[in-house]
């Protein structure tokens, strides 16, 4: 028996292979395949069924199981079909559900069967059909496809689960092209339009198939018109499939989904939960239900996300509430619709939320009573909008008031929003004490007044908003004083005062049991730190960098939960108290300027320091501190970061048994990195131009050992050396960005304060000033990609990239030595992709290289287990072709003098490269010698021996010899 699979099963084989490996490797007899509608679950299940059905005593595939099992008659028909398919007895009749369950158990109990239940919605559907799944014979397999992750997320050992991911860009382009052009690639003159469709479809196979078929055979003008329509009006065919999951939600869950789709996609989960909780929507359960249904996801930074098609579906559901009259819809976000409703005063009680952002070039003015009819308004999100006079009306039931650039100093005296939860007014003209006289909200949990230039003091919040959780006062450059009572806000979790350069008076003491983040970065006039009245175990991140604090109180040791501490300034000497040694969970220590640790300190009977010496003039650790700090701390991870000179590390650093991160910046006199403990995972020594090559060699070899790669491995394809000199790396001007835009991208990659505390697991990084790839990398290239062959499993490998900073006026690198720093500061973002047998996958989150002033090497490696998990589904047979490709996606130059280029790459891997590869070395011979080597080599081949693999290797270095 063979089921009809997709017409063009692009990407299916790799996913089927991964699931089959899982089926073969464990005894689980139930396999759950889950994912959103249109992702390809049914296609994958059919392909698996076709592959393995002949290995069972009987098999049956039941499609549309959810729909067919909704009635008793439907269940009976499914039971009869199962018995018929496996027993081949046309005379069997079930009669009723209970008898059907008994008949199935009696007849199939001793048979090894394969059963696929396609599109299951609830576990009770399976119980009504089979009575359970625990009675099947050993070796039987039951495959379930579902949109609900919770259905298959069972803790029992007999169940394994597989999430179907979106197609990657290459797979998406091929699938779309097969439907639009009947070929694997689009026509050249349609390539740009095809890429627009790929970007729009976001890897959803359903969309690619439907849109590809719709555009097949049409002109470019029709394509352009259709693409514009898709972006405004979703395809009914796609929406019909996607809405099945939405229809399975109850009323509360539907409201949560529509609120996220219309207003809160991309926001922090906790933030949204506070809002929805204030609306009595029970978000703890509701959001998890949406996650289980694959309608919403949560990223590593705890931000809510959803596929663009699902967001579009949600907005379309709201639009259909009243296509002709926007004022009769529940939610408004389209600028034109909102403008009509507010200016024409046509709003109604049905409106639940409004979001309006006026283009910068056309500010609009609202009438004072424009919101008067909207009695049920919960969310008001506004940007770049002015008001004619005072805002006379706000609904008392408002939960969110988010108004960037609010033009008034306060709210009207007759406004009483008693249930307000979110108050965001960044870049506004509000005066804090005036505003808080108008707002007395115990429900208020989030306040954002970033860059408000009229705030001079922060009054007592314990009366106006005692339950505040997040308080953002970043860059309030006129803020001078914070009321003393604000040091006792029990519910406050995050308090950001970054860049409040005039701030002088802060609370004299702190008693804040919920506080997790306290940021005083660049508060240049703050001269002392509050007393800590009791232990605070929840404070994880404290930044006192670039403040005027010279002495910390002895109670500082009460901050027992700190994981990261930033402290010090280039303008003041800061003395730490002896209680610093109580910080048992410190993972990252950022030291700036002249920071002195205490001398002659004892903890119990153990003397910590007899001859301490504190820090050098520029704040770097000396040997005694390293030894004694090790004896005092029992840390899983520690990190040292400094930015100055005269660093003198000795072998005593080996006593840091838990040291994971060592960060040093801008030290001109650091000559060597000492031997480091085996726990080390990352070493950053950016702009430390005095590091000697011998020290760097030892460091690279140590990381290689930690990864488990042998330093003496050679490429089996090495046959001869081809010598070439290369200084022809072109600058990619298209990826250059102004500093402001570069920082916005950086902010997206590090969107929350939590990002600075994330542990990304076992991975190894080195960033050091150097130009030469270490000689033990057995594959090397003078281009931005490198390829090799590996066996059936993806081995451990490490790569190394040489970044050169080249003058913008030239197109080649002429700074051959890292002996001096450039008159520029360069930052860039690098993208690394892996191609396995032609399949592309991103290797990692895009790393950011900041504030570099000379050439640097970047080493990166991860263990075999992680690589096999990430790329194992692409491996095919005993020989697999791998290409590592990297590029600089964005870069910025502070003074516009230099730009970054990728000059060389190296990979160290146990390979099975074919023989007769060409090895390219650098700076050993002229192009005349190169030509001679090529002629001699090519004369030994006839045309049949020169295949694609050998041609690719001609631009790849595969050498273990020194440069």
Q: Give the other-Cβ count within 10 Å of 355's Cβ.
A: 20
The encoded tokens of residue 794 equal 């993806």
Q: Which of 296-310, 396-410, 513-527, 723-737 has the highest mean pLDDT?
A: 513-527
Q: Is the pLDDT of residue 95 over 80?
A: yes
Q: Is the pLDDT of residue 65 over 60?
A: yes
Confidence of residue 33 (pLDDT cuts 50, 70, 90): very high
Rounded CA gap, 351 and 326, in Å? Answer: 9
Rounded CA gap, 881 and 837, in Å? Answer: 5
Task: Taking the CA atoms of 176, 179, 183 and 184 in sequence, report the sign of the dihedral they define.
Answer: positive
* Range name among 23-37, 439-453, 497-511 with the lowest pLDDT average: 23-37
Q: Give the other-Cβ count within 10 Å of 607's Cβ.
A: 12
Confidence of residue 936 (pLDDT cuts 50, 70, 90): very low
**DSSP string over 728-797:** -PPP-GGGB--HHHHHHHHHHHS-SGGGGT----S-EEEEES--SPPTT-SEEESSSEEEEEE-SSPPPE
What was the pLDDT predicted at 639?
53
Q: Is the pLDDT of residue 472 over 50?
A: yes
Q: Is the pLDDT of residue 912 over 70?
A: yes
Nearest to 318 by CA among 275, 262, 266: 262
Q: Is the pLDDT of residue 543 over 80?
A: yes
Q: Is the pLDDT of residue 50 over 70?
A: yes
Rounded CA gap, 107 and 83, in Å? Answer: 8
What was the pLDDT predicted at 629?
37
Q: Which residue has the higher pLDDT, 714 or 8?
A: 8
Strand 58-62 vs strand 606-607: parallel, antiparallel, or unpaired?
A: unpaired
* Range name among 699-703, 718-722, 793-797, 889-893 with the lowest pLDDT average: 718-722
CB 822 within 8 A of CB 897: yes
Q: Which residue has the higher pLDDT, 544 or 930?
A: 544
CB 395 within 8 A of CB 376: yes
What was the pLDDT predicted at 408?
87
The encoded tokens of residue 652 equal 């005593």
Find all residues with CB under 8 Å of 95, minimum gap 6, and list them.
76
* Range name among 340-349, 708-717, 724-733 with the lowest pLDDT average: 724-733
CB 473 within 8 A of CB 449: yes
Element (H, E) at 663: strand 661-665
Q: Which residue has the higher pLDDT, 845 or 68?
A: 68
What was the pLDDT predicted at 360?
66
Average pLDDT on 257-264 reads 97
Percent of the chain at pLDDT > 90 equals 47
**DSSP string over 426-492:** TT----HHHHHHH---TT--EEE-TT-TT--EE--HHHH-TT--EEE-TT-TT--EE-GGGGG-TT-
3-state class of 168 per DSSP?
coil
- What mean pLDDT value characterizes the chain? 82
Average pLDDT on 454-479 reads 94
Q: How many CA atoms lie within 13 A of 493 on its CB side?
A: 10
Find all residues with CB under 8 Å of 407, minimum gap 6, and list them.
386, 387, 428, 429
CB 932 within 8 A of CB 724: no
Nearest to 908 by CA among 694, 696, 680, 711: 711
* Range name among 12-16, 373-377, 527-531, 614-618 with the lowest pLDDT average: 614-618
* Range name among 150-154, 886-890, 893-897 with the lowest pLDDT average: 150-154
Chain segment 571-621, per-residue pLDDT in tens = 778 888 888 777 777 777 776 766 676 764 443 333 333 322 333 333 333
Q: Is the pLDDT of residue 788 over 70?
A: yes
Rounded CA gap, 565 and 559, in Å? Answer: 10
Chain segment 756-786, per-residue pLDDT in tens = 777 767 888 899 998 888 888 888 888 888 9
The encoded tokens of residue 278 equal 């204030």
Q: Is the pLDDT of residue 299 over 70?
A: yes
3-state class of 936 per DSSP?
helix
**Cα separations in angstroms, 117 against 4, 145, 599, 846:** 16, 7, 71, 40
Helices (H), 793-903: 864-871
Q: Is the pLDDT of residue 637 over 80?
A: no
Chain segment 348-382, per-residue pLDDT in tens = 999 999 999 877 656 677 777 788 889 899 999 99
What was the pLDDT predicted at 658?
59
Average pLDDT on 413-426 reads 86
**DSSP string over 52-82:** HGGGSSEEEEE-SHHHHTSSHHHHHHHHHHH
What was the pLDDT predicted at 378?
95
What was the pLDDT predicted at 74?
93
Q: Is the pLDDT of residue 49 over 50?
A: yes
The whole model's pTM is what? 0.80
Strand 517-519 vs strand 297-298: parallel, antiparallel, or unpaired?
A: unpaired
What was the pLDDT predicted at 715?
79
Q: Is the pLDDT of residue 946 over 70?
A: no
Nearest to 305 by CA among 265, 334, 275: 265
């Amino acid at each position: 028996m063979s089921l009809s699979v997709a017409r063009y099963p692009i990407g299916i084989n790799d996913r089927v292979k991964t699931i089959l490996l899982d089926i073969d490797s464990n005894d689980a007899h139930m396999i759950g395949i889950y994912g959103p509608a249109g992702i390809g679950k049914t296609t994958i299940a059919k392909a698996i069924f076709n592959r393995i059905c002949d290995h069972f005593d009987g098999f049956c595939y039941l499609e549309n199981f959810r729909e067919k099992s909704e009635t008793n008659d439907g269940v009976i028909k499914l039971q009869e079909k199962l018995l018929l398919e496996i027993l081949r007895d046309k005379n069997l009749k079930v009669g009723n559900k209970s008898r059907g369950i008994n008949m199935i158990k009696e007849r199939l109990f001793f048979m090894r069967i394969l059963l696929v239940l396609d599109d299951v919605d609830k576990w009770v559907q399976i119980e009504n059909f089979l009575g359970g799944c625990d009675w099947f014979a050993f070796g039987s397999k039951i495959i379930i496809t579902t949109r609900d992750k919770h259905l298959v997320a069972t803790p029992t050992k007999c169940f394994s689960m597989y999430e179907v991911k979106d197609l990657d860009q290459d797979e998406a382009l091929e699938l779309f092209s097969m439907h639009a052009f009947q070929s694997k690639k689009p026509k050249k003159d349609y390539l740009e339009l095809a890429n627009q469709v790929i970007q729009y479809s976001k890897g959803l196979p359903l969309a690619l198939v439907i849109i590809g078929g719709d555009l097949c055979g049409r002109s470019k003008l029709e394509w352009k018109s259709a693409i514009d329509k898709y972006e405004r009006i979703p395809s009914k065919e796609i929406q019909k499939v996607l809405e099945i999951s939405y229809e399975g939600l109850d009323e509360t869950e539907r409201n949560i989904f529509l609120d996220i789709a219309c207003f809160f996609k991309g926001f922090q989960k906790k933030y949204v939960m506070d809002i929805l909780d204030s609306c009595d929507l029970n978000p703890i359960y509701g959001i998890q239900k949406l996650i289980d249904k694959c309608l919403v996801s949560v990223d590593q930074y705890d931000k809510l996300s959803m596929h663009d098609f699902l967001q579009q579906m949600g907005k379309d559901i709201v639009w259909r509430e009243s296509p002709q009259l926007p004022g009769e819809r529940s939610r408004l976000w389209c600028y034109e619709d909102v403008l009509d409703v507010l200016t024409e005063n046509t709003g109604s009680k049905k409106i639940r939320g409004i979001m309006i952002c006026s283009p910068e070039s056309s500010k609009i003015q609202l009438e004072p009573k424009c919101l008067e009819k909207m009695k049920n308004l919960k969310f008001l999100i506004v940007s770049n909008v002015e008001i004619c006079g005072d805002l006379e009306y706000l609904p008392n039931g408002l939960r969110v008031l988010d108004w960037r650039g609010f033009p008034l100093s306060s709210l009207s005296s007759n406004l009483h929003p008693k249930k307000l939860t979110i108050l965001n007014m960044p870049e506004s003209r509000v005066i804090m004490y005036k505003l808080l006289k108008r707002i007395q909200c115990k429900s208020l949990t989030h306040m954002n007044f970033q860059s408000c230039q009229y705030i001079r003091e922060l009054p007592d919040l314990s009366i106006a908003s005692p339950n505040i959780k997040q308080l953002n006062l970043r860059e309030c450059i006129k803020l001078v004083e914070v009321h003393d009572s604000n040091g006792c806000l029990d519910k406050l979790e995050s308090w950001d005062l970054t860049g409040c350069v005039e701030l002088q008076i802060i609370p004299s003491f702190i008693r804040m049991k919920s506080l997790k983040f306290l940021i005083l970065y660049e508060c240049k006039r703050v001269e002392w730190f509050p007393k800590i009245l009791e232990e605070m175990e929840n404070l994880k991140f404290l930044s006192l960098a670039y403040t005027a604090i010279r002495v910390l109180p002895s109670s500082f040791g009460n901050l027992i939960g700190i994981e990261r501490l930033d402290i010090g300034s280039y303008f003041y000497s800061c003395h730490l108290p002896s209680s610093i040694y109580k910080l048992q969970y410190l993972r990252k220590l950022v030291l700036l300027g002249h920071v002195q640790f205490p001398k002659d300190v004892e903890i119990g009977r153990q003397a910590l320091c007899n001859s301490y010496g504190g820090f050098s003039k520029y704040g770097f650790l000396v040997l005694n501190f390293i030894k004694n700090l090790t004896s005092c701390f029992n840390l899983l991870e520690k990190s040292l970061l400094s930015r100055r000179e005269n660093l003198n590390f000795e072998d005593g650093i080996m006593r840091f048994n838990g040291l994971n991160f060592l960060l040093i910046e801008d030290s001109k006199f650091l000559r060597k990195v000492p031997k480091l403990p085996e726990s080390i995972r990352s070493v950053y020594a950016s702009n430390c131009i005095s590091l000697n090559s011998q020290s760097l060699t030892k460091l690279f070899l140590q990381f290689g050992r930690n990864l488990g790669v042998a330093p003496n491995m050679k490429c089996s394809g090495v046959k001869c050396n081809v010598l070439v000199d290369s200084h022809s790396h072109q600058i990619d001007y298209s990826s250059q960005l102004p500093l402001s835009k570069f920082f916005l991208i950086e902010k997206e990659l590090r969107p929350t304060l939590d990002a600075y505390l994330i542990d990304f697991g076992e991975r190894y990084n080195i960033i050091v000033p150097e130009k030469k790839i270490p000689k033990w990398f057995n594959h090397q290239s003078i281009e931005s990609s490198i390829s090799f062959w590996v066996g059936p499993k993806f081995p451990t490998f490490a790569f190394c990239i040489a970044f050169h900073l080249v003058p913008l006026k030239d197109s080649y690198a002429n700074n051959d030595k890292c002996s001096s720093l450039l008159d520029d500061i360069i930052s860039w973002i690098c993208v690394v992709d892996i191609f396995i047998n032609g399949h592309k996958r991103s290797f990692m989150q895009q790393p950011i290289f900041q504030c570099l002033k000379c050439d640097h090497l970047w080493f990166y490696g991860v263990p075999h287990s992680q690589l096999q998990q990430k790329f194992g589904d692409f491996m095919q047979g005993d020989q697999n072709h791998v290409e590592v490709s990297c590029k600089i996606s964005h870069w910025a130059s502070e003074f516009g003098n230099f730009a970054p280029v990728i000059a060389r790459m190296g990979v160290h891997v146990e390979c099975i490269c074919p023989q007769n590869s060409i090895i390219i070395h650098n700076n050993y011979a002229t192009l005349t010698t190169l030509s001679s080597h090529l002629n001699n080599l090519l004369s030994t081949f006839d045309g049949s021996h020169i295949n694609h693999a050998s041609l690719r290797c001609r631009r790849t270095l595969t050498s273990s010899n020194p440069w």
